[in-house]
């Protein structure tokens, strides 16, 4: 009895189609480097065209099937119109990573209402517009993931950074609501909450201690969030426990702590 050979059809692996807003940030670049070896097609949006070109070349060398530099001021762009062009360029969207934002200096922000307004526009208003535009795309597709970099600073208002913290707290609430909306449709949204990260944005802060993480550690958490989990992750994970304690400190004790 002769046996007939059976061929098993293997579906082709489709490269991830990824958009990164604020692609020149240290965390965004580190994350893109983790996606590149899998042959991802990555669109890099940011203001510094020269840096975008450098990052795109590096990602191609690391295995990215495509790395598209897309010069853009994300904070002032028409999010819906611009995202439509980006998605058309990629032929769809698997992951959008929102990675831009500014830290600001609390005392200066309190003295200068215009500076505070600019920070709020960048960190919340413009970011919210991108999140809502991405939600419309993911809802229509019934698939894909929105990843947004927030901060543990948004978990409880503190005298040292409550204006910045307010923008991140509002953004977290927005993303959690989007996650709830998308869940029945097969798409996801995740807010990533890093603690202290050693990046150029925090270069002026001295005496970095054991709670500080490198961008590469945050990037690994972001990549995992792109695959599963959510709607909220802390990066590194030990920050979840720290923030549970901080959120639940009685006001009488909290007000005596300079954090």
Structural element, H or E, at residue 32: helix 26-35
- Listed by start position, the domains of the chain span 17-249
Q: What is the pLDDT of residues 1-15, one digit of tens each?
A: 444 444 554 444 589
The rounded distance, in Å, linking the Cα atoms of 36 and 62 is 6
Per the structure block, which two tokens stand in for 253?
């004790």
Per the structure block, which two tokens stand in for 244?
């549970």
Residues of the chain with pLDDT under 70: 1-13, 203-207
The residues near 103 (Cβ < 8 Å, ≥ 6 apart) are 164, 201, 202
Let me know the angle formed at the C-alpha of 139 by 136 and 142, rounded to the nearest 5 degrees.
150
Sheet hosting strand 66-71, strand order edge to edge: 66-71, 41-46, 17-21, 95-98, 145-149, 188-194, 232-235
pLDDT of residue 140: 96
Q: What is the pLDDT of residues 51-82, one digit of tens each?
A: 999 999 999 999 999 999 999 999 999 999 99
The rounded distance, in Å, linking the Cα atoms of 204 and 209 is 14
Active site residues: 164
pLDDT of residue 204: 67
* Of the options 3.40.50.720, 3.40.50.1360, 3.30.565.10, 3.40.50.1370, the CATH number for the domain spanning 17-249: 3.40.50.720
pLDDT of residue 203: 66
- Closest CA relative to residue 172, chosen from 127, 141, 223, 118: 127
User: 242 near 196, Cβ under 8 Å?
Assistant: no
pLDDT of residue 7: 52
Cis peptide before 231 (omega within 30 of 0): yes
């Amino acid at each position: 009895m002769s046996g007939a050979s059976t061929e098993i059809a293997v579906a082709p692996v489709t490269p991830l189609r990824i958009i990164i807003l604020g692609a020149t940030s240290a965390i965004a670049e580190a994350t893109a480097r983790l996606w590149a070896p899998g042959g991802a097609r990555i669109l890099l949006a940011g203001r510094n065209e020269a840096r975008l070109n450098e990052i795109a070349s590096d990602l191609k060398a690391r295995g990215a099937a495509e790395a598209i530099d897309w010069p853009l001021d994300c904070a002032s762009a028409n999010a819906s119109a611009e995202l439509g062009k980006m998605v058309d360029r990629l032929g769809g969207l698997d992951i959008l990573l929102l990675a831009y934002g500014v830290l600001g200096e609390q005392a200066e922000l309190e003295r200068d209402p215009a500076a505070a307004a600019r920070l709020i526009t960048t960190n919340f208003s413009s970011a919210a517009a991108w999140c809502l535009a991405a939600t419309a795309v993911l809802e229509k597709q019934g698939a894909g993931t929105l990843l947004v970099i927030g901060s543990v600073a948004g978990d409880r208002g503190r005298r040292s950074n409550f204006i910045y913290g307010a923008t991140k707290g509002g953004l977290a609430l927005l993303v959690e609501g989007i996650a709830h909306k998308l869940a029945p449709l097969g798409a996801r949204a995740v807010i990533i909450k890093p603690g202290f990260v050693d990046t150029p944005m925090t270069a002026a802060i001295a005496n970095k201690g054991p709670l500080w993480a490198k961008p590469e550690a945050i990037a690994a958490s972001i990549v995992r969030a792109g695959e599963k989990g959510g709607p909220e992750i802390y990066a590194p994970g030990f920050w979840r426990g720290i923030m549970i304690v901080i959120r639940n400190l009685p006001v009488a004790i909290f007000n005596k702590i300079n954090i």
